[in-house]
Amino acid sequence: MNLFSLRTGIGYDVHRLVPDRDLIIGGVKIDFHLGLLGHSDADVLLHAITDALLGAASLGDIGRWFSDKDPKWKGISSLYMLSEAGKMLRQKQAKIISIDSVVICDRPKLLPYIPDMKLNIASALDVPADCIGIKGKTSEKLGFVGAEEGIESYATCLLAVGS
Ligand code: MG
């Protein structure tokens, strides 16, 4: 009998919006006058998804594997970190069933970029794009997101882990 267990994971991330940085979300460079600040490319969505996957597989969080104190990871593509997390999951016989996520910002509008984000994530993780959900939500101009001081993201995932 083929035994497996189902595991959920949750991830959250936030990065500050600043001038003179590219805005990269879901591995897509987005045309905007501000970008996200971080040690890596500061891809807030991919960091939330990576944390959800690592958490579901009991592999800690993104900082455990890609410390923002380590100069080796400066400017690194978050798609690379996501794909490395995917490899770690495969080594644990953990199969990704679904990922769902939300990115919260009032501007820019993310909808036109979501198909490319899904393709990037599907390719990095070697999963079908239709098991990935990405939603852009606004903050109704409330709080730090509404003030365009930062962008935040939440992600969940469901894994089937072999035993
Ligand atoms: Mg981050």
Domain boundaries, the chain: 4-162
Q: What is the pLDDT along the chain (163 residues), one digit of tens a residue?
A: 678 899 999 999 999 999 999 999 999 999 999 999 999 999 999 999 999 999 999 999 998 888 888 888 888 899 999 999 999 999 999 999 999 999 999 999 999 999 999 999 999 999 999 999 999 999 999 999 999 999 999 999 999 998 6
- Is the Cβ–Cβ distance between 143 and 106 less than 8 Å? no
* pTM score of the predicted model: 0.96
- Cα of 30 from ligand 1 centre, angstroms: 17
21-32: burial string, b at 16+ Cβ within 10 Å, e else? bebbbbbbebeb
For the domain made up of 4-162, give the CATH fold. 60s Ribosomal Protein L30; Chain: A; (3.30.1330)
- Cα of 17 from ligand 1 centre, angstroms: 12
